Amino acid sequence: MASNIIQQASQSDPRIGASLIRLHFHDCFVQVSTRGIKIHAGGPTWNVLLGRRDSTTANQAGANASIPAPFENLSNLTAKFSAVGLNVTDLVALSGAHTFGRSQCRLFSNRLYNFSGTGVPDPTLNTTYLANLRQICPQNGAGFNVANLDPTTPDVFDANYFSNLQSNRGLLQSDQELFSGASGAPTPPTAPIVNLFSGNQSAFFQSFVMSMIKMGNISPLTGGNGEIRLNCRRVAVVVETTSYSPETRNLAMELIGGNAPETGEGSVASEERPNEAPKICENDTSYAEDDALGKKKTLGKQRR
């Protein structure tokens, strides 16, 4: 059902797929969640491992320190990937997610006017591409205009991202570094991988799937660590459940991975209102319970 919802949303806003990929990337580099992704833009599919739990906290400091930035050089990118057990093939494959989506000017405008404080554009930028980007991102602009990460097929998950790098049309510095490296420096070790993926889309798709699975295995929260949220947008809150029926309480405990109490009293993870039935993730109505008469009662969506 979730896959169908994402597909429908993608038809009205093609950026949805790219946004979900970024969300998965950021979750896994900092604190793993249970979310899985299916690409609805022509890309590959894969089975998502189950049993992952959501973190109960956010870590802004960890995000700032661990997540690769769009203006970092290849050395820093490689080091950040290596720190979480990912190699240079993973770096190139996962960067290929920039084959669709958009980026705000403020994340790359330094390349257009004053690269690394030199007062001139990034010398690795294709001059025609540079002129086009300057039309989108004026020098004194606010920086919130957006440009396509892939100027050729911006809403399709394909291998054109790598062809763009070969013609010096990578939008972010972190993109073009994979093929060009620093200006005047030797050919970077990632360039042969870019060439491979550019000429063999199947090889890119296969490597992307393997790297996404590896990234999903970065310090996963399992067992008693973390939680399974009853509302996907909120950390669960423990409340008393003495007013719940035994059937409802037992089902709720199963959903959050706990053990149902043997007595009529206990607690489950729910929202702030102790007398409500426990809430399922808001877009999921697939869970149901059997009442004493054997009839199905959907625990479905409850909106405020």
- Residues involved in catalysis: 26
What does the buried/exposed string (b/e) look like for 237-267 if buried means 16 or more CB atoms within 10 Å of the residue's CB?
eebebeebeeebbbbbbebbebeeeeeeebb
Q: Are 97 and 28 in contact (CB under 8 A)?
A: no
Q: Single out the residue of 146, 174, 171, 159 nearest to residue 14, CA to CA.
A: 146
Token pair 């409850």 in the structure block, residue: 302
